Structure formats: C-alpha cells, structure tokens
Amino acid sequence: MSFDMLYDKDVTTNYLQGMTVAFVGYGAQGHAQANNLRDSGFHVIVGVRPGPSFEAAKKDGFEVYSVAEAAQKADWVQMLTPDELMADVYNKDVAPNLETGNVLGFSHGFNVHYKEIVAPKDVDVVMMAPKGPGNLCRRTYKEGFGVPALYATYQDFSGHAEDLAKEFAKANGAARAGLLKTTFKEETDEDLFGEQNVLMGGVTALIETGFEVLVEAGYSPELAYFECEHEMKLICDLIYEGGFAKMYKDCSNTSEYGSYVQGPKVVNESSKEAMRQGLRDIQDGTFAKEFMADYRNGFKKLYAYREEMEQSQLQKVGDQLREKMPFVKSADKYSD
C-alpha cells in the first residue's frame, strides 16, 4: 500500500467526464459534494425522499428525483445516507436500477465492508472519503482549496475504477489538499476506532470525567466547564496547526511539565487495553452487529444514551454559558 500523497496534477484521466452523478442523500456531505462537483462542471442530480432535504436540493437548483428515479438516470450513484439507513435504501431503490458499467460510490466503507450492501459484479465500487465535515468541504472548495481525502477501490469492473475514484476526489476539491490511497477495510476500521476511542468517545469521556472530578471536589461548575470543555477547542486548534510541539510552545512551562507528569497516569495501559478491545470489536464485526441491532430495535440504546448526555450537568451548564457567548453560537450556524 502506497502512502504517497496525490494532488491535482497527478490526476490526469477523464473517465468521469460526461457521466451523470446522482447523490443519494442531501445532508452535510451530500450538499457539499453535490455542489462541489457541479461547480467543477459535472452533471449532478439528487435522489432523496420528500421532505426538507428534497426542498433544499430543489432550492439549490438541482434536478431532484426519488432515489429510484435518480439511480435509474445516473451513471454514478454516490451513497450518502446515514450508515444505518443505507442498506435499506440501496436494496429498495438503488439495486433494482443499477445497470452494467455503473459506478457505486461511498464516502465511508461501513456498509460494504460489513456486507450490509453487496453490489452486483458488473459495477465499479469505489470510495472517496473527505477527512473533514461537509460544511468544511464546501467552504474550503469555495475558497479555492479543499480538505484531504482517502480514495479506495472495492470492485473494479471497468478496469479503471481507481482512476474514477481519484477523479471524483479531484472534482470535489480534495486533490488540492492531497489524496491518500486506502482500502474499504482500513478506512472503516480506522474511522470507527478514531471516533470511538479518541475524537468523540475518548474526548467526551475525558472532558466529562475532568468536569465531574472538579465539581465533586467543590469547585464551580461554570469554571469547570471553561477549564475542561471550552478550552479544549483552543488546545486542539494549536495541535491542528503544528502538532504537540506547537501546542506546548504556545502554552506555559508549568502546563507542559504537568502534562508530561500527569497525562500518562490518566491515559495509561488500562486505557490502551480498552482501546485494543475496541479495535478488536470493530475488526471482527462485533460493534457493527451491535449498532445495526440497536437500529433495527428502534435505537432504544442510542436514544437512552443521548437523553442521558443531554440531561447531564455538564451539558446544561455549557448551554447556559454558551447563551452568553454569541461568538460561540454564531460558529454553529450553517451556511453554504
């Protein structure tokens, strides 16, 4: 597996030219990718069920159809519905309308890797996974740049599926920032692991635990919020800009020394073993089975977890303080 970054100049084929690309789903990623590809000169249509997304796509000037109609009209069907819904949408509306030589595209490998979706043998199956949220993909594209992306081929019927994946990424603006080759398995494993153990599950557990320790020790919940949650963004911005070295350089010697001493005591070998077990659950399909079972049972566990989070002291204190910080509220507003 090569990990050389590719850029616009490295993507020189034109197999995507002349194709009709249908986006199934018009949420954050669907909106971003559809608009980016259209602005790059490609023929884009949208397939969604009636509702807010249908109206949003119409308002943005797209030809909007039912999913089945869009799949029937398209040469390339890009699946961008939520993971748990995707197989149902595919089996009901997309699969019956695929034709030999079509391209089935994804931006996450979950459904293909775990065999929730099994494509026919006479189509290409590819992936272009931006390493950033949809609003950032759109904003950076309009600014003349983009976010990096991963590309992969699962099934190469045409003989040039990899070129198509790279061209799709280029049309989305991602090759301006850089493309990395991967596989559906690798992208799925690493994406789920990162979300669960570091980016979301790990970070939120760390923030909440620190908040609870301070409050239980008698410190102000408001100050605990600022210390453990509010400042997290500021520290992460420094890490994003220049890694740990940049972060430590811009902080005090006291904080740097303390982090070296205390950090390994908080996240230690037992934490690492929990991460290893989490990775094993991803690799052997345990997590996927549990997640899909909860979805098919009405998401009872997910909604209970969500309710508990929304009713937590940390969330309520944070909501009250954010109401007094207009600059934080405005950062949440979505705009094209």
pLDDT digits (tens, 9 = 90+) for 304-324: 999 999 999 999 999 999 999
Q: Does the pLDDT at position 327 exceed 90?
A: no
Cα dist from 250 to 223, 230, 233, whole Å:
22, 17, 14
| Structural domain boundaries in the chain | 8-185, 192-236+262-331
| Band of pLDDT at residue 99, cut at 50, 70 and 90 | very high
E strands, 134-280, are: 149-155, 179-181
Of 108, 113, 160, 230, which residue is the catalytic one? 108
Q: Does the pLDDT at position 187 exceed 90?
A: yes
Token look-up 């890009």 returns 78
One-letter amino acid at 110 equals F
Domain 8-185 -> CATH class: alpha beta
Q: Does the pLDDT at position 331 exceed 50?
A: no
**What is the residue-averaged pLDDT of the chain?**
95
41: left (phi over 0), alpha (psi -120 to 50) or beta: left
Residue 23: per-residue pLDDT: 98
Q: Does the pLDDT at position 329 exceed 90?
A: no
| Band of pLDDT at residue 328, cut at 50, 70 and 90 | confident
d(CA 137, CA 173): 8
Other Cβ atoms within 10 Å of 202 Cβ, number:
18
Residue 316: per-residue pLDDT: 95
Q: Does the pLDDT at position 330 exceed 80?
A: no
Give the distance from CA 278 to its chain's centroid. Answer: 19
Predicted model pTM? 0.91
Q: Does the pLDDT at position 199 exceed 90?
A: yes
Give burial (CB, 10 Å; 0-12/13-18/19+) of 39: middle
Active site residue 108: yes
Q: What are the strands of the beta sheet with 124-130, ordered from one edge? A: 63-65, 43-47, 20-24, 76-79, 103-106, 124-130, 149-155, 179-181
Residue 3: per-residue pLDDT: 63
| Band of pLDDT at residue 4, cut at 50, 70 and 90 | confident
Closest-CA residue to 83 (of 280, 291, 309): 291
One-letter amino acid at 210 equals G
Share of residues in the chain with pLDDT > 90 (%)? 94
CA terminus-to-terminus distance, the chain: 36
With vertex at residue 178, the alpha carbon angle to CA 177 and CA 183, rounded to the nearest 5 degrees, is 140
One-letter amino acid at 228 equals C
| Band of pLDDT at residue 336, cut at 50, 70 and 90 | very low
d(CA 273, CA 297): 30
Average pLDDT, stretch 172-183? Answer: 96
Q: Does the pLDDT at position 2 exceed 60?
A: no
Residue 332: per-residue pLDDT: 44
Average pLDDT, stretch 2-20? Answer: 91
Other Cβ atoms within 10 Å of 246 Cβ, number:
14
- The string of pLDDT tens digits covering residues 29-82 is 999 999 999 999 999 999 999 999 999 999 999 999 999 999 999 999 999 999
d(CA 233, CA 332): 13
- The string of pLDDT tens digits covering residues 132-158 is 899 999 999 999 999 999 999 999 999
Other Cβ atoms within 10 Å of 41 Cβ, number:
9
d(CA 64, CA 44): 10
